[in-house]
Structure 1
Amino acid sequence: MVQPCSCFSPGARSPPSPQITFYEGKSFTGRKLEVCGSCVSFQDRGFLNRVNSICVQSGAWVCFDHPDFRGQQYILEHGEYPDFYRWNGRGDHLGSCRPVGMVSGCCWIKIFEGNHFSGPSMELTEDCSFLQGQGWEKTCINALKVYGDGAWVLYEEPNYRGRMYVVERGEFCNFNTWQARSASVQSIRRVINYI
């Protein structure tokens, strides 16, 4: 049996807890799974890994195509996704998800050409649809540091396309630490919570 969400309390005045709903069918049909926090395995919650539509009620989420937060990552922000093409999915298979930290106040990212924070570097405080257009000479990033309370999405292609990887506050000494297949990154944007 799919477990319902129980994260809202009547009369609460704080911002709503992150909530996302997965549907087996397109356009929000079929069985559904409501999630209010990290979910290591959809199957453990009684839901098959087949997902064809998603509704993000609050927060921002990173979804993975395998359990245990592994595999291809997809970032989903507040809104409706009636089919997997809307979240740049390559199929209807998802296995786990977790909420992402939100931008609140100052947040910036420092990227490095070399592993272990070596070589040329650049700091960003705003979205960048094409790093090479901002003076970044390479099409790769081998290390980075995320500062402040927020998260960023790294894209392998310009204009926020291609494989994506979510990074939150911390230091990442090489591309393996953010689960990338290669160091290729050509655009970066902040994760924003539109409630």
Structure 2
Amino acid sequence: MSQYSGKIVFFEGKCFTGRRLEVFGDCDNFQDRGFMNRVNSIRVESGAWVCFDHPDFKGQQYMLEKGEYPDFQRWNGHNDHMGSCKPIKMHGEQYRMELFEGQNFTGQCVELCDDCPFLQSTGFSKNCLNSIKVYGDGAWAMYEEPNYRGRMYIVERGNYCAFTEWQSENPNIQSIRRVVNYF
């Protein structure tokens, strides 16, 4: 198994019943594999995954770590739609990111190396995060509300010049945590 692979199994029915789809890497469209976009339970056998409610890695994001999710409420889903998924790429154990108030890495900057349940507690004056640089080895989950709640976005190593680059519709981020569940 490669460093970025894992295994996730999607089920049409609740409590792991009905038709199933096993995925071991990026899957940009469940329908291309003969599986409808209706998912009511999920079993993550290894790795950490980001799943999307639309094909082509679009729409609402859900982070799923190793474990069982017998119904869509367990992954904070609003319905049973799921269209694509991919493993979260993690390279090691070093986490570091820089957060910027303005687009293109301008304005106030704060560095994080650990989880942060409330971004303003770091001295970041606003809850508007417009650009970020992700360094190190790991992926991060960013949330629109404090204490890791609300809409979530996964970011991995790289530069994000604007909030639209992590598929957000607005720059509101209030909590951030490391993705640490490997296999």
- For the aligned pair, the TM-score class normalised by the smaller chain equals over 0.9
Specify the alignment match of 2:137 in structure 1.
149
Unaligned runs of 5+ in 1: 1-7, 9-13
Structure 2 residue 23 is the aligned partner of structure 1 residue 35: yes
Cα offset for 1:106? Answer: 1.5
Q: 1:44 to 1:124 in 2, by over 3 A?
A: same
Q: Distance between the aligned counterparts of 2:133 and 2:157, measured in 1?
A: 7
Q: Distance in 1 between matches of 2:97 and 2:4?
A: 27
The reply to whether residue 181 of structure 1 matches residue 158 of structure 2 is: no
Task: Please list, as runs of the form range in 1=range in 2, the aligned pairs for 1:1-195 lying within 5 A after superposition.
Answer: 17-102=5-90, 104-195=92-183
Higher radius of gyration, 1 or 2: 1
Shift of 1:17: 3.7
TM-score scaled by length of structure 2: 0.96
Contact 1:103/1:191 (<8 A) preserved = no
Structure 2, unpaired ranges of 5+: none
Deviates more, 1:127-136 or 1:52-61: 127-136
Q: Deviations over 1:100-155 (max 9, x none)?
A: 01251312111000000000010101111111122221011000000012100110
Distance 1:16 1:167, change over 3 A: closer
Segment of structure 1 superposing worse, 182-191 or 14-23: 14-23
Identity %: 63
Paired AA for residue 43 in structure 2: C
* 1:15, distance to aligned residue in structure 2 (A): 6.9
Instruction: Give, in whole Å, the separation in 1 of the partners of 2:68 and 2:156.
Output: 24
The Cα offsets for residues 51-109 of structure 1, whole Å up to 9 and x where unpaired, read as 01111100111100110011111111111111111111111000000010125131211
* Higher mean C-alpha deviation, range 132-141 or range 182-191: 132-141
Q: RMSD of the alignment, in Å? A: 1.5
Sort the Cα spacing of 1:170 and 1:124 in 2 relative to 1 into closer, same or farther, 3 A. Answer: same
Letter in 2 for 1:83: D
